[in-house]
Amino acid sequence: MKLVLRLASTAIVAAGAVLTLHVATPSLQASVPPVGPLVGARASGSIGDAMSGSLSGAFGTPEAPPAPTAARVATEVASGLGSSLIAGDVDTAWHRPTWFPAVNDLDTVALMNGPVVGGPAPSLRSRSVFVYDVDAGLPLIDKNADVVRPVASLTKMVSSLALMSAEPDLDLELCVTAAQYPTRSGARSRLSTGDCLGGWDVLGAALVASDNRAAYALATVSGLDMDAFVARMDDVSADLGMDRSSWSDPSGLEDENLSTARDMARATVAVASHPVLSAIATAPFWDLYRSNKQAPRRLFTTDRLSGRTDLDVLAAKTGYTDTARYCFTTMVQTANGRRLVITLLGAEGKLSRWADVDRILRWADSGAS
């Protein structure tokens, strides 16, 4: 049953689908929009495969070799030699973590320390911004990209990766208890104490609707206690080269969940490249099935880019706390086939966050980048 669901998820991601998962039955429903060749090719690996090795040091040190030129990266990517380019010219210590499925796009995290390439960036109001061209393997915008800040619910990208690294059985049912109650007053949740649901629905509620009790329940789904799960989050981010990040809870409610725009871009690439998580992190809504309730509850995404016809969203997550302010991270494919990772931290207002995203997309489409 689990194998069938995971393989089905791989096929769905390869098609760039939006899905609704029914945990109570082995069925999986999806509607598959037309996609371009880059999206169809991005999940070519099997979820059951993984390459051995782990990070043996951060690749953010000044001694790291400089990033290759845009022309050379483009040539290597087009000829299918991207992995050898990363291993030979960027960081020989980089190996895909053993817990991650064998898909090639994850290797791009080793290129994110290169110099910014492109024309003058647009004026942006967010305090920290990092924009990365996945196919060229080059950073395009760096505005305080390495300044450590609270990242609010962007934390859920890392907690979802920590969950998948534990190889959970997402078909198992759990019932929400007081142990999953958010620690910060005023934090809302669509889950009530006593709700019984499967691991798929916990993950969907956390990633799609940014539900905080669902994020706390990820630890239960993983089979780890809370302290061990947070430690796993630290290990997973270290595996991805997120050497300026540290975590305090799975939801991002605490101000001690700290990262940078560049580090969160790495996590975003990992989620977008994961055959299960990418399908969930792009869903416009999630139908929550609880065994103790007769009707499902539909939870809608917090991602304002969802539904835009000029973009294919490959992963996305919003975040907000009073301290972190408005945050957003996404990996998208534009209408001309360009794949970009965009991470914004510390936007003062909700509208200014989305205005910055629009400015970046228009700037990229204009050819100024």
Question: Sorting pLDDT into bands at 50, 70 and 90, what band is 181?
Answer: confident
Question: Sorting pLDDT into bands at 50, 70 and 90, what band is 184?
Answer: low
Q: How far apart are CA 55 and CA 234, in angstroms?
A: 13
The whole-number pLDDT of residue 27 equals 29
Asked if 208 and 280 touch (Cβ cutoff 8 Å), the reply is yes
Integer CA distances (angstroms), 283 to 18, 159, 298, in order:
5, 18, 12
CATH 2.60.320.10 fits 2-366, yes or no: no
pLDDT at 268 over 80: yes
- Give the residue, 333 or 89, on which the prediction is more confident: 333
Q: What is the mean pLDDT of residues 71-81?
A: 35
Q: Report residue 160 as tokens.
A: 């979802």
Question: Sorting pLDDT into bands at 50, 70 and 90, what band is 56?
Answer: very low
Q: How far apart are CA 96 and CA 187, in angstroms?
A: 36
- Our CA angle for 201, 206, 210, nearest 5°, is 135
Q: What is the mean pLDDT of residues 140-166?
A: 97
The whole-number pLDDT of residue 94 equals 74
Question: Sorting pLDDT into bands at 50, 70 and 90, what band is 316?
Answer: very high
pLDDT at 81 over 60: no
Question: Sorting pLDDT into bands at 50, 70 and 90, what band is 185?
Answer: low
Give residue 183's Cα distance to chain centre: 24
Lowest mean pLDDT among 100-114, 221-235, 237-251, 322-336: 100-114
Could you give the percent of the chain with pLDDT greater than 70? 73
pLDDT at 5 over 50: no
Asked if 32 and 72 touch (Cβ cutoff 8 Å), the reply is no
Q: Please tell me what DSSP assigns to residue 107.
A: G
Q: How far apart are CA 184 and CA 203, in angstroms?
A: 21
Q: Which amino acid is at 186?
A: G
The whole-number pLDDT of residue 315 equals 97
Instruction: State the residue for tokens 């290990």.
Output: 235
Alpha-carbon torsion, ordered 224, 227, 230, 232, to 10 deg: -50
Integer CA distances (angstroms), 53 to 92, 99, 204, 239, in order:
12, 10, 29, 10
Give whichever of 66-80, 91-105, 153-167 has the largest mean pLDDT: 153-167
Which backbone phi and psi does 121 adopt, to 5 degrees? -75, 155
Q: pLDDT for 325-355, tens place per residue?
A: 999 999 999 988 999 999 999 999 989 999 9
The neighbouring-strand residues paired with 315 are 331
Alpha-carbon torsion, ordered 253, 259, 209, 135, to 10 deg: 180
Q: How far apart are CA 107 and CA 305, in angstroms?
A: 26
Q: Report residue 307 as tokens.
A: 């539904």
Query: 3-state DSSP call for residue 197?
Result: strand
Lowest mean pLDDT among 44-48, 68-72, 172-176: 44-48
Domains of the chain: which residue ranges?
Answer: 2-366
Lowest mean pLDDT among 55-69, 99-113, 281-295: 55-69
Integer CA distances (angstroms), 124 to 245, 354, 360, in order:
23, 11, 8
Q: How far apart are CA 33 and CA 180, in angstroms?
A: 36
The whole-number pLDDT of residue 232 equals 98
The whole-number pLDDT of residue 118 equals 75
Query: 3-state DSSP call for residue 319?
Result: strand
Question: Sorting pLDDT into bands at 50, 70 and 90, what band is 299?
Answer: very high
Asked if 83 and 104 touch (Cβ cutoff 8 Å), the reply is yes
Go through 194-222 and write b for each residue having 16 or more CB atoms within 10 A of its CB, e for each that does not: ebebbbbbbbbbbbbbbbbbbbbbbbbbb
Q: Which amino acid is at 322?
A: D
Contacts of 69 (CB under 8 A, 6+ apart): none
Query: 3-state DSSP call for residue 350?
Result: helix
Q: How far apart are CA 220 and CA 145, in angstroms?
A: 33
The neighbouring-strand residues paired with 318 are 328
- Give the residue, 26 or 358, on which the prediction is more confident: 358
Q: Which amino acid is at 363?
A: W
The whole-number pLDDT of residue 92 equals 54
pTM as predicted: 0.76
Mean pLDDT of the chain: 78
